[in-house]
Chain A
Amino acid sequence: MQDKKGEEKIIVCRCEDVTSEEVEAAIDGGITDPEELKRFLHVGMGPCQGRTCGRLISRILSRKTAKPISTIKSISHRPPLVSVPISEFLGEEDE
């Protein structure tokens, strides 16, 4: 995949279509808290809930802020553990 300038694009969050360039630009703009990155870029908020991008974001943050990855908080995870169709909760009423 190529961006407008014809350069290689690296997609970090596939669900929300966020590139590594966008993540780096946000960090350069002062958003260095993983929680803020999640909220302002929507990374990790799509159907996979950060399973792919979570670690990638931590790695980019670690590199950009020169902090060991062990000190980078992972983005918060919310229940349910996996996405659940509403029909699962309708029980007998639905049969």
Chain B
Amino acid sequence: MIDRQAAVGVLRRYVWVPAALIGAVGLAWVITAIYGDLVVTRVVTLALLHTVWVVGLFAYSGNSGMMSFGHVSFAALGAYATAYLTIPAGLKPTVFPDMPGYLSWLLDIQASFPVALLVSGLVAALFALVLAPAIVRLAPLQGAIATLSLLIIVHTVLNNWTEVTRGQSTMIGVPADLGLGGAAIGAMGAIAIAWALTSSGAGLRLRASREDAIPARAVGVAIGRERTVAWVTSAFILGVGGGMYTHFVPTFNPDQFFLAATFTIVAMLIIGGMKSLTGALVGAATLSALSEVLRRVESGHIGELGLPAGSAELMLALFLLLMLGFRPRGLTGGREVPWPGLLAGRRGGGVLGAPRGVRRERRSET
């Protein structure tokens, strides 16, 4: 009996939420693959790529309660790393005609797409590790502004270091070989990593500090260290996500990794519910669907006239503002996918991440 309870406990704490979310992604993949036409497939693929980014942002912001406006720069780093590694060697001299001598090795290195993604993630994680001392010690508001400065720094460098990054010119030559399946697998991987962090001891201590920093510190949580773990992990996810994005679009420039993208992923996380991984997925799905509908209205595909450019983004911002006013915890209320009642024998609430989740967790362990 005790063994069964323990097994259910493990299942509930470590397996249920990621399994349910990965299952949802798989379902979206299968349904789209069977029924989706070209446009729908493209929209769903993009939604899954956004999911990777939002799940990455959740790994840091959701667990720590620190909002970050700088995470898109990790995606940018991953995107450029993947581009250097996967643009065919024969094309590189044309793509980067002015590459300075001390960086000419960038023209020679080459890797397969999966290896390139791994390297991209590691590059972003390393960059995050270097920045961590500056970011993790700040209070939430200061942290938000500091991460926004990070976004500006990276964008300025990418935009102006023309010999190396092509600056404002479009990056060309990246193979366009990421489809629906690749994006779905990426989203599943991101979910697995984010949940591993969330359900780990580090994740638990971090959420304790999110709910109330002073008592958390009093019971021995080293907030800076836990935040660093989450910051670096989430940078890794964003780095991989940025690399994946390049093989989907496949042309891009620094502006794709700036304010509009930042607003999109922050809005997705807030609207879904910042404090739960489920919220990250719900937000990504909701906003992707909504912005696709708005885009069609704006371009005149739905309705008679069409609206002036900018109206779609305005509506999304209005939606975010209304959510903040009426449902600040997001659509999920910060709860995870509910544990099905029939398995537990009682109606379950959230496992982790819900406002009272930390306390509930502690009680179940003692």
- Interaction A to B: no
